[in-house]
Amino acid sequence: MSLPSFEVVRPRSLESAIDALARYGADAQMVAGGTDLVPSMKQGLFAPRVLLDLKGLRDLDFIRFDPDRGLEIGALTRITPIAESPVLARYFPVLHEAAKTIASPLLRNMGTLGGNLCLDTRCLYYNQSGFWRESLGYCIKKDGTRCHVAPGSAVCWAAFSGDTAPALLALDATVDLASPRGQRTVPLAEFYVNDGLLRMNKAHDEIVTGVRVPASSAGWLGVYKKLRIRQSIDYPLAGVAVAMRKDSGGVCLDARIALTAVNPAPKLVLAAALLQGHRYDPALADEVAHEAIRAAKPLRTSASTMEYRRHMVRVFVRRALKELWLNGR
Q: What is the CATH number of the domain that holds 202?
A: 3.30.390.50
Q: In angstroms, rounded to a whole number, what is the distance separating the alpha carbons of residues 74 and 94? A: 18
Q: In angstroms, rounded to a whole number, what is the distance separating the alpha carbons of residues 318 and 303? A: 24
C-alpha dist (Å) from residue 135 to 123, 125, 130, 152: 16, 11, 9, 19
- The number of distinct structural domains making up the chain is 2
Q: In angstroms, rounded to a whole number, what is the distance separating the alpha carbons of residues 1 and 329? A: 45
Q: Is residue 306 part of a domain?
A: yes
Q: Is residue 127 part of a domain?
A: no
**Structural domain of 24:** 1-52
Asked if 130 and 42 touch (Cβ cutoff 8 Å), the reply is: no
Q: Are residues 35 and 167 in the same domain?
A: no
Q: Are residues 2 and 84 in the same domain?
A: no
pLDDT on residue 280? 96
The pLDDT profile of the chain, 329 residues, written as one tens digit per residue, is: 789 999 999 999 999 999 999 999 999 999 999 999 999 999 999 999 999 999 999 999 999 999 999 999 999 999 999 999 999 999 999 999 999 999 999 999 999 999 999 999 999 999 999 999 999 999 999 999 999 999 988 899 999 999 999 999 999 999 999 999 999 999 999 999 999 999 999 999 999 999 999 999 999 999 999 999 988 889 999 999 999 999 999 999 999 999 999 999 999 999 999 999 999 999 999 999 999 999 999 999 998 999 999 999 999 999 999 999 998 65
Q: Are residues 216 and 240 in the same domain?
A: yes
Q: Is residue 231 part of a domain?
A: yes
Q: Is residue 192 part of a domain?
A: yes
Q: Are residues 16 and 80 in the same domain?
A: no
Q: Is residue 150 part of a domain?
A: no
Q: In angstroms, rounded to a whole number, what is the distance separating the alpha carbons of residues 267 and 285? A: 18
pLDDT on residue 2? 87
Residue 49 CA neighbour count, 13 Å, CB half: 7
Q: Are residues 73 and 207 in the same domain?
A: yes
pLDDT on residue 329? 58
pLDDT on residue 1? 74
Q: Are residues 13 and 38 in the same domain?
A: yes
Q: In angstroms, rounded to a whole number, what is the distance separating the alpha carbons of residues 222 and 41? A: 36
DSSP-derived pairing of the beta strands 50-53 and 28-31: parallel
Q: Are residues 165 and 265 in the same domain?
A: yes
Q: Are residues 253 and 233 in the same domain?
A: yes
- pLDDT tens for 230-272 read 888 899 999 999 999 999 999 999 999 999 999 999 999 999 9
Number of other residues whose CB lies within 10 A of the CB of residue 37: 21
**Which residue, among 67, 54, 103, has the nearest Cα to 83 in the 3D structure?**
103
Q: Is residue 123 part of a domain?
A: no
Q: In angstroms, rounded to a whole number, what is the distance separating the alpha carbons of residues 62 and 72? A: 8
Q: Are residues 96 and 215 in the same domain?
A: yes
Q: Is residue 128 part of a domain?
A: no
Number of other residues whose CB lies within 10 A of the CB of residue 72: 16
Q: In angstroms, rounded to a whole number, what is the distance separating the alpha carbons of residues 258 and 266? A: 7
- pLDDT tens for 219-229 read 999 999 999 99
Q: Is the dihedral of CA 61, 234, 126, 299 positive or negative?
A: negative
For position 4, which CATH number holds? 3.30.43.10
Q: Are residues 173 and 315 in the same domain?
A: yes
Q: Is residue 46 part of a domain?
A: yes
Q: Are residues 37 and 68 in the same domain?
A: no
Q: Are residues 183 and 288 in the same domain?
A: yes
Helix (H, G, I), strand (E, B) or coil at 179: strand
Asked if 183 and 197 touch (Cβ cutoff 8 Å), the reply is: no
